[in-house]
Amino acid sequence: MILTAVSVVGVLVAGAFVRLPAQAAAAYIYLPSGSGKSACPLGYVCLWEHSEFTGRGVGFYNSQAWYEDLSATYKFIQNAASSAYNHGQYNDIRFGRFGSLDGGTIVLCKGDAIAYLNIGRNDGAIPGLGWNDEISSHQFFAAPYC
C-alpha cells in the first residue's frame, strides 16, 4: 500500500483560484517496508530508514523545508534516513541537517543513490558525525558540478 498526500495545483484567473486537472504528482508517498529502491517513482527523491534502501521510506516530489512539518505518516523519516535515491528527472538535491538546510548540506545528483549515508559521507557534515540519521530537510536545485 502506498499512501499519498496530493498538492493542490491550479492557477489564479481574474482573482479566483481555478483547479487544474488531476495530473499533478503526489507531494509525498509512503514506501512500505520491503518496497526497496525500485519503488521510488521517477521525479521523486526517496529516503529509507535503513541502509540499502530497506525499511520504511518516504518519497518527495517537491522541496521540503522541514520534515518536522510533515504529517505523522511521513514524519518518521526526520533524522532517521540511512539511504537515499534521487530519481529526479531534472534536478539535483541538497539535504540539510536542520530545517531550511541549516547545519550543513550534502548534495545528491539526479540519478544517484547512496546505499548507506554513513560511509564516506562527511561532506558538509559536522566533523565525525556523517549523515546517517541526520537529514531534516531538502531542496531541489541545479548543482553546477553534477
For the chain, the domains span 24-141
In the β-sheet with 105-108, what is the strand arrangement from edge to edge?
A: 105-108, 92-96, 137-141
Q: Which three cell numbers stand for residue 132?
A: 546517517
* Cα four-point dihedral sign 121, 131, 6, 34: positive
Model confidence pLDDT, tens digit, residues 130-141: 789 999 999 999
User: How does residue 23 score in pLDDT terms, banded at 50, 70 and 90?
Assistant: low
> Does 8 score more than 90 pLDDT?
no
Would you identify the CATH topology of the domain 24-141? Gamma-B Crystallin; domain 1 (2.60.20)
Helix or strand (DSSP H, E) at 134:
none
